[in-house]
Structure 1
Amino acid sequence: MSIKRIIPCLDVKNGHVVKGINFVNLRDAGNPAEMAQHYEKEQADELVFLDISATQEGRSTQKEWVKDVSNNLSIPFTVGGGIGSPLIAQELISLGATKISLNTAAVQNPELICLCVDLLGEDKVVLAVDVKETQKGFWEVFINGGQTPTGLNAFQWMKQGVEMGCCEILLTSMDRDGTMKGYDIPLLSSAAQNLPVPIIASGGAGTKEHILEGLQIGCDGALAASIFHFGAVRIPELKKWLQAHDASVRLKED
């Protein structure tokens, strides 16, 4: 049985971690490096940092906070936002990021996935996919921080991303984001069953039960923000509870 990962997500804007609902109404949740250290102590398996305003502002990820996080963290972390070229991706890896995440730029130029994989290796490139269920059973890809519909079928796009070499999919339901009402299980279940790379569940986790459900339907990792940032669930207690419910997680014994 594969070890499941618990992954806090830290959305970064103007050098601060923020959190909103349905990608809007953002509020400050802390300093990236300080929160990274906190989550390492809390037994997070990995972290994901998304510079959520980089693409909209037409810039690359701010490198200062990436370096600061790297200097204060020993667990793996992924960085996304504003990565529009293989050289930017390579620079972030050189600053200490474990993996890079592609989203808007990959939709606009799918070849970017191949170029980054060729330069960095096939274990370094994550495809982040933000989707809305715009018709019953049809999930559409959105880009530019969830602001722009693309018309793309999410499953066709994810399949293409896998074929081009991405090592995992970070799949976010915008309909559920920040609502704490639970993951979009039909979406995640279909992805986990039909794609040959790890799926990271994202968007909507509000309870321990939601996390467990996401892992039980085949996701390799459960990503969450609100429940961790604002103290609704602590990771050590979550992991003990998951283990008691037959989920395979890394648990640091007291």
Structure 2
Amino acid sequence: MSAFPRVIPVLLVSDGYLVKPVKFHGDKYIGDPINAVRIFNEKQVDELVICDIDSSVKGAGVNYSLIEEIASEAFMPVGYGGGVSSAAEAQRITGIGIEKVILNSAAFNRPEAIGEISAALGSSSTVVSVDAKKRLTGGWDTYSQRGKKKLGMTPAEAARLAQEHGAGEIIVSAIDRESTFSGYDLKLVTAVSEAVTVPVIALGGASGYADFAPALEAGASAVAAGSMFVLNGKHRAVLITYPTPDQIRALKS
């Protein structure tokens, strides 16, 4: 286990470009993902997640050329999600140099795929993303297909299902907090963290470093963010940032 909390930038890619949606809608063009990886190298990021958000929705499959470019540039461990549905695909991805494979649609369309990939790669390299949206009546629904398909289970149930089938880590993403800079959904983080024994990564809504500690206190093992690491100011200008080692160490205290 890391001596300090894991702080993970999440880059979203569509049609080969770096984008940033809001609440899973309206992709804002950010730039070249490879250039972003190079900047994060310079900032000595410990871990990075890259998701091709249209692979499953459009049925395009895994973007191996993008993965090869990323693996050749990244100096840090990288997790990749987007269109992965089989152990063979997962092994090809890790063979290129990616450390973790992230599942969403495939994990819930055919949960057995989680076990097959976990058996091939090991549970620590098998991650499932649980995308949740708050209900008006309370609680949350879980979705796949980029928030388009309701799964008929709570995020806690989805996380337990993923763990039972072999996932070694869960990303819990608050759809209605994405790119809102309104802070993590701490109750959601707690609900999922209490449902499983594997590490949980909180994602969705971070506005600044002050949001990290409450998410960790709510039960997350790590914190992730997209917009706050690539956008800046009220006009959301593109500016890639990352906390200093001292700022990360301070989260431990």
TM-score higher than 0.5: yes
Runs of 4+, deviation exceeding 6 Å: none
* SS of alignment partner, residue 240 of structure 1: helix
Equivalent residue for 1:169?
A: 170
Alpha-carbon spacing, 1:190–1:204, altered in 2? closer, same or farther (3 Å): same
Equivalent residue for 2:109?
A: 108
Distance 1:117 1:31 in 2: 31
* Structure 2 residue 214 is matched with structure 1 residue 213: yes
Distance 1:243 1:121 in 2: 29
- 8 Å Cα contact 1:215-1:247 kept in structure 2: no
- 8 Å Cα contact 2:4-2:249 kept in structure 1: no
Distance 1:82 1:137 in 2: 31
Equivalent residue for 1:247?
A: 252
Q: Which amino acid letter does the alignment assign opposite residue 154 of structure 1?
A: P
Which blocks of at least 5 consecutive residues in structure 2 are unaligned?
A: 234-239
Distance 1:61 1:51 in 2: 8
Q: Which amino acid letter does the alignment assign opposite residue 185 of structure 2?
A: D
Distance 1:135 1:161 in 2: 26
Distance 2:155 2:195 in 1: 12
Q: What TM-score do you get using the length of structure 2 for normalisation? A: 0.91
Q: What TM-score do you get using the length of structure 1 for normalisation? A: 0.91
* SS of alignment partner, residue 75 of structure 1: coil
The CA deviation at 1:40 is 2.2
- 8 Å Cα contact 1:43-1:236 kept in structure 2: no
Equivalent residue for 1:23?
A: 24
Equivalent residue for 1:234?
A: 241
Q: Which amino acid letter does the alignment assign opposite residue 125 of structure 2?
A: K
Q: Which amino acid letter does the alignment assign opposite residue 247 of structure 1?
A: K
Q: Which amino acid letter does the alignment assign opposite residue 242 of structure 2?
A: I
Distance 2:29 2:7 in 1: 22
Q: Which amino acid letter does the alignment assign opposite residue 146 of structure 1?
A: G
The CA deviation at 1:243 is 3.0
After superposition, give the CA deviation of every residue in 1:80-139 in whole Å (9 maximum; x if it has no partner).
111121111111111111100010111010000001011112221001110112254422
Question: How many aligned residue pairs are there?
Answer: 246
Equivalent residue for 2:128?
A: 127
The CA RMSD measured in Å over matched residues stands at 1.7
Equivalent residue for 1:252?
A: none
